[in-house]
């Protein structure tokens, strides 16, 4: 069985940015990963030269797929093509992810080997508050993680995926929540419910280049930054209310935190990685 990782990169009309990220990974991590690019309704003249799958139906062209639907689209295609089992892990990133000039994939693979119950792993950003918590121990388990770069164990995905709905709307994430506010809580809660942990590591650093959304929203064909942020929260809160009955982000976070605490009751050997 291959120990390789499938890296999935989401692009919408920023081919140069995407090409640069692909080539960075080819330079530092080629022996440890295969790279797949999802075109999230990009214009035909703005496709990455590394395009793997092109979401080109009408709604995708008009609105894009965003992170959740884009990753569902890629993962479900790997599943349908019979290639899903070729990978032990999956690195899900958008093209605005910034990585250091060093290996990314191998250190993340090694951490999964060191932490057999970690299903979700995220590189830390030096801008996150969590960065200051990762001092004595470079890897700790959390009940909330920002969703711009997730490194997922295949067995974890298999434990929660919706095999009967292998498409861009339902495979891993709930695609009815278009912009994704709150989906990270749902994913992490599903991990702890199924006896998997979610961790952040300081051994690998990544960041998000928000200047693309701030300065190129017209090219990306999305709302300006402030409007997008407002809709992200408004739509996500409606999704939380409709699906879970929660009235706030904090209720959703406490839902995840509840299963986080139960995980350590069932697995006391991992208490040293608890906050």
Can you tell me the mean pLDDT for 228-255? 94
Mean pLDDT of the chain: 93
pTM above 0.85, yes or no: yes
Domain 5-273 fold? Spore Coat Polysaccharide Biosynthesis Protein SpsA; Chain A (3.90.550)
Can you tell me the mean pLDDT for 31-48? 96
Residue 222: which pLDDT band, with cuts at 50, 70 and 90? Answer: confident
Express as a percent the part of the chain with pLDDT over 70.
95
pLDDT at position 115, please?
A: 98
Sketch the domain layout of the chain as residue ranges.
5-273
Radius of gyration in angstroms for the set of CA atoms belonging to the chain, rounded to a whole number: 18
pLDDT at position 1, please?
A: 40
Residue 239: is its pLDDT beyond 90? yes
55-113: pLDDT as tens digits: 999 999 999 999 999 999 999 999 999 999 999 999 999 999 999 999 999 999 999 99
Q: Which of 6-20, 134-148, 186-200 has the lowest mean pLDDT?
A: 134-148
Residue 219: is its pLDDT beyond 80? no
Can you tell me the mean pLDDT for 37-53? 97
Express as a percent the part of the chain with pLDDT over 90.
86
Q: What is the 3-state secondary structure (H, E, C) of the chain?
A: CCCCEEEEEEECCCHHHHHHHHHHHHHHHCCCEEEEEEEECCCHHHCCCCEEEEECCHHHHHHCCHHHHHHHHHHHHHHHCCCHHHCCEEEEEECCEEECCCCCHHHHHHHHHHCCCEEEEEEECCCCCHHHHCCCCCEEECCCCCCCEEEEEHHHHHHHCCHHHCCCCCCCCCCCCCCCCCHHHHHHHHHHHCCCEEEEEEEEEEEECCHHHHHCHHHHCCCCHHHHHHHHHHHHHHHHHHHHCCCCHHHHHHHHHHHHHHHHHHCHHHHHHEC
């Amino acid at each position: 069985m291959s120990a390789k990782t499938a890296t999935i990169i989401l692009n919408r009309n920023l081919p140069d940015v995407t090409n640069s990220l692909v080539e960075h990974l080819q330079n530092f991590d080629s022996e440890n990963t295969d790279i797949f690019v999802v075109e999230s309704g990009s214009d035909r003249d703005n496709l990455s030269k590394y395009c793997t799958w092109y979401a080109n139906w009408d709604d995708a062209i008009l609105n894009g797929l965003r992170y959740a639907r884009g990753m569902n689209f890629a993962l479900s295609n790997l599943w349908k093509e019979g290639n899903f089992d070729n990978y032990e892990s999956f690195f899900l990133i958008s093209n605005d992810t910034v990585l250091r000039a060093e290996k990314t994939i191998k250190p993340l693979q090694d951490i999964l080997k060191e932490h057999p119950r970690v299903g979700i792993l995220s590189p830390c950003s030096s801008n996150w508050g969590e960065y200051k918590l990762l001092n004595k121990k470079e890897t700790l388990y959390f009940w909330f993680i920002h969703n711009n770069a997730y490194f997922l164990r295949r067995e974890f995905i298999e434990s929660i995926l919706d095999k009967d709905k292998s498409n861009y709307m339902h495979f891993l994430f709930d695609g009815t929540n278009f912009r994704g506010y709150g989906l990270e809580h749902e994913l992490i809660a599903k991990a702890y419910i199924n006896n998997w942990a979610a961790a952040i590591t300081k051994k690998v650093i990544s960041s998000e280049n928000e200047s693309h959304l701030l300065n190129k929203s017209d090219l990306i064909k999305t709302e300006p930054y402030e409007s997008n942020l407002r809709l992200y929260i408004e739509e996500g809160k409606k999704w939380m209310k409709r699906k879970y009955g929660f009235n706030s982000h904090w209720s959703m976070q406490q839902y995840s935190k509840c299963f986080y605490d139960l995980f350590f009751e069932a697995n006391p050997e991992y208490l040293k990685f608890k906050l």
